[in-house]
Amino acid sequence: RIAYVNGSYVAHAEAGVHVEDRGYQFGDGVYEVCEVRGGHMVDERRHMARLVRSLGELRIRLPMSLAALGVVLRQTIARNRVRDGLVYLQVTRGVARRDHYFPDAATPPSLVVTARSVDPAKGEAVAGQGIAVITVPDNRWERVDIKTIGLLPNVLAKEAAKQAGAREAWFVDASGHVTEGGSTNAWIVTPEGRLITRPAESGILRGITRTVMMEVAEKLQLRVEERPFTVAEALGAREAFVTSATNFATPVVRIDGQTIGDGRPGPVVRALRENFHQVAE
């Protein structure tokens, strides 16, 4: 395997960044995960637009033009012979003597890109079974709209889920409403058949898959309501699911040990999955 690190393609096993990289010391950076399908990035344009936004919010420079970045992403995918899988990119504020203040404006940001194959059958198998989620208090900062590499609350929440025999953790805000998953956006289907997901204006990352799924829903003439929902409402839902670039839509069949619907993946999430890649770019 090959990784791109600050201007060079290197063996994955030897790919490293400097010990004084601000990503390593402060979590001072952002990332994107993009699905690769048939050798091409899915929704590349939207992922790049979100990257630019995240960098802007943190006042980190784009390390190179978007066109050049596109070349690096494609090269990394090609050099790893990825047809179906994921490409990961990370930009940090660069390498500088440890100091909380931003380094000199001339400090170049660091860029790392990796790509790996993932067997699509694995995602299908998980989706066929459905997953269990637990709920945990949302103890994250207010700027979860930025896709930062500072993911400690997410790491702890997802590990807690794993320990509890579940796969994802849903964060719940102080008013009892679900915000999102540790690495996914959260959705439910009401008994009336309406799709509910939290507005992206507060408390969540604006998932690219979430945005595309809204278009899929429209195509399928499903009603989508962007509003917060409580854990109680989710427990009474007909279906629940999560979305992310890693497995577009994954049915949720248990929340905190309680069965959702009939405990099996439902027709709405199945239809969304089946139509996703016709709508995604």
Chosen residue from 167, 210, 254, 273 binding ligand PDD by CB under 6 A: 210
243 binds ligand PDD (CB under 6 A): yes
135 binds ligand PDD (CB under 6 A): no
The CA-atom distances, in angstroms, between 253 and each of 125, 246, 256 are 14, 19, 10
Is residue 158 annotated as a catalytic residue, yes or no?
Answer: no
169 beta partners = 134
Burial class (CB in 10 A: 0-12, 13-18, 19+), 278: exposed
180 binds ligand PDD (CB under 6 A): yes
Chosen residue from 5, 10, 33, 172 binding ligand PDD by CB under 6 A: 33
209 binds ligand PDD (CB under 6 A): yes
115 binds ligand PDD (CB under 6 A): no
Backbone angles phi, psi at 77, to 5 degrees: -65, -45
| Cβ atoms within 10 Å of 262's Cβ, excluding its own | 10
Cβ contact 215:279 at 8 Å = yes
DSSP reduced 3-state for 36 = strand
250 binds ligand PDD (CB under 6 A): no
In which region does residue 81 sit, left (phi positive, over 0), alpha (psi from -120 to 50) or beta (all else)?
left
Stretch that binds ligand PDD, among 54-62, 97-105, 118-126, 239-247 (CB under 6 A): 239-247
Stretch that binds ligand PDD, among 10-18, 95-103, 178-186, 270-278 (CB under 6 A): 178-186
Closest CB 11 distance from ligand PDD, rounded Å: 23
**Interface residues toward ligand PDD, by CB under 6 A:** 33, 154, 180, 183-185, 205, 207-210, 243-246
